[in-house]
């Protein structure tokens, strides 16, 4: 069964919708990070500067954003645990509103019981949990409107189902930075198995204190702007955002041609040095799509800008494509590394590339690392080869690797 992706709804520091993000990606615009890229505290206890301004963070249409039917959520309350005031729900709502028309049409066609939700996220609970624990430390008790349910991984997915009145399966994937891509894979499986007629799928994530301090402890944060695939690369820029599609068997023009997953389990945070896990996911995606490597006209790289990840992905690209590596770019210098949302945002960029033809530019200093295979990194004005497909890579902690292949409808 063919599975198609609706136009995506999204929000991140580089755009409040798909058109804005696509323009930013084509131009290599990094305005979300230029003035605030260096946000690493020097000593424990020092405050960090605010992250990039996020379009849509006040985008909930009613100021609360939670349907009345979700009785376990307070209409208002203290900070992040007070329901709609949490940033993750504001970002989620801003993206979901952009696909409302497609979801409502699917409800009319299939009924709410045949529409599912697959949501990927890494840090969906800590925003509420940390806020409540601060109050506990100060007062000796949790706020009266706080529930452990607020820090559960399932809450944003339950919110999504409640927002649209959906009663099909509600799944949360937490495969670290591959979560958004994993959610799209699970959604396609629900449709192809006949369990669902359509599925809302994508990812959302924020930069909470837990996330920031975790990556800082790994010494993975760049003190400046991310510089993926450069010999001078020195870490990631954290980002936050959301991106969602409606997947179904109705032809939206862009098809999920194939998906590949692998779990190499080399290390809790580092990729295998030979790139074998990443290459396995890419090969499986091509096999699933029934395509040869030559059919791919653009690869959206995982491209975090860390020393180990970039070289492993470069080796994997060489393994899969040989001497004919297609134009490629990492868009994380534009969006930041949006963690659980990254796979969905980058799939959205492939969706836009297939529709618009222009390839997102690769932002870096142009200094190649002689220790890694050469990848043809996209320059401004580069165009997608007519008739070709796009691949997007998401390679995560714990060896969770996902590659998706998107293409124009074959119907």
The C-alpha angle with vertex 356 and arms to 354 and 360, in degrees rounded to 5, equals 80
Task: Compute the distance between CA of residue 363 and CA of residue 233 in angstroms, rounded to an integer.
Answer: 12
Active-site residue, 363 included = no
Catalytic residue of the set 12, 78, 302, 363: 302
Catalytic residue of the set 12, 13, 337, 400: 337
Active-site residue, 13 included = no
Catalytic residue of the set 12, 13, 118, 177: 177
Rg of the chain over Cα atoms, rounded to whole angstroms, equals: 20
Count of Cβ atoms closer than 10 Å to residue 248 Cβ? 25
Task: Compute the distance between CA of residue 140 and CA of residue 309 in angstroms, rounded to an integer.
Answer: 43
Active-site residue, 133 included = no
From residue 32, give the alpha-carbon distance in Å to each of 24, 82, 154, 162.
Answer: 10, 27, 29, 32
Contact by Cβ (8 Å): 345, 9: no
| 160 Cβ contact partners less than 8 Å away, ≥ 6 residues apart | 92, 96, 117, 119, 166, 170, 200, 244
Give the tokens for residue 352: 């836009």
Contact by Cβ (8 Å): 125, 151: yes
Task: Compute the distance between CA of residue 143 and CA of residue 134 in angstroms, rounded to an integer.
Answer: 10
Burial, 319: exposed, middle or buried (Cβ in 10 Å; 0-12, 13-18, 19+)? middle
Tell me 110's DSSP state.
H
* CA pseudo-torsion sign 183, 187, 190, 193: negative
Specify the length of the chain in residues.
411
Residue corresponding to tokens 């995560």:
396
What secondary structure does DSSP assign to 11-78, as a single string?
A: EETTBSSHHHHHHHHHHT--HHHHTT-----SSTTPPPPP----TTTT--TTSS---TT-TTS-SS-S
Residue numbers annotated as active site: 177, 302, 337
């Amino acid at each position: 069964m063919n599975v198609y992706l609706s136009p995506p709804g999204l929000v991140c520091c580089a755009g409040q919708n798909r058109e804005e993000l696509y323009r930013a990606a084509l131009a290599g615009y990094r305005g979300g990070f230029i003035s605030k890229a260096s946000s690493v505290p020097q000593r424990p206890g020092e405050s960090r500067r605010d992250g990039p301004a996020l379009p849509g963070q006040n985008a909930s249409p009613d100021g609360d954003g939670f349907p009345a039917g979700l009785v376990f959520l307070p209409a208002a309350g203290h900070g992040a645990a007070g329901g709609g005031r949490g940033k993750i729900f504001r970002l989620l709502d801003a993206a979901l509103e952009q696909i409302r028309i497609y979801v409502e049409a699917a409800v009319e066609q299939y009924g709410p019981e045949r529409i599912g939700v697959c949501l990927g996220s890494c840090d969906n609970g800590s925003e509420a949990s940390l806020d409540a624990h601060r109050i506990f430390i100060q007062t000796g008790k949790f706020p009266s409107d706080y529930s452990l349910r607020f820090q559960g991984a399932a809450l944003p997915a339950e919110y999504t189902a409640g927002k649209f009145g959906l009663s099909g399966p509600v799944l949360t994937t937490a495969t670290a930075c591959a979560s958004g891509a994993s959610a799209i894979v699970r959604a396609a499986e629900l449709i192809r198995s006949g369990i669902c007629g359509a599925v809302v799928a994508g990812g959302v994530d924020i930069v909470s204190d837990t996330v920031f301090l975790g990556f800082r402890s790994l010494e993975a944060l760049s003190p400046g702007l991310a510089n993926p695939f450069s010999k001078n690369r020195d870490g990631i820029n954290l980002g936050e955002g959301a991106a969602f599609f409606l997947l179904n068997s109705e032809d939206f023009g862009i098809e999920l041609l194939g998906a590949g997953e692998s779990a190499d389990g080399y290390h809790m945070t580092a990729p295998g040095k030979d790139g074998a896990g990443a290459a396995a996911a890419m090969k499986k995606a091509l096999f699933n799509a029934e395509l040869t490597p030559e059919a791919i006209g653009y690869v959206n790289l995982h491209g975090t800008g860390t020393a180990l990840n970039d070289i492993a992905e470069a080796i994997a690209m060489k393994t899969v494509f040989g001497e004919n590596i297609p134009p490629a770019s990492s868009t994380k210098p534009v969006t930041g590394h949006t963690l659980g949302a990254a796979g969905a945002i980058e799939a959205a960029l492939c969706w836009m590339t297939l529709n618009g033809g222009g390839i997102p530019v690769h932002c870096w200093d142009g200094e190649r690392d002689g220790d890694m295979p050469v990848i043809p990194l996209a320059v401004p004005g580069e165009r997608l080869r007519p008739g070709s497909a796009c691949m997007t890579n998401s390679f995560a902690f714990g060896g969770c690797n996902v590659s998706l292949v998107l293409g124009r409808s074959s119907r």
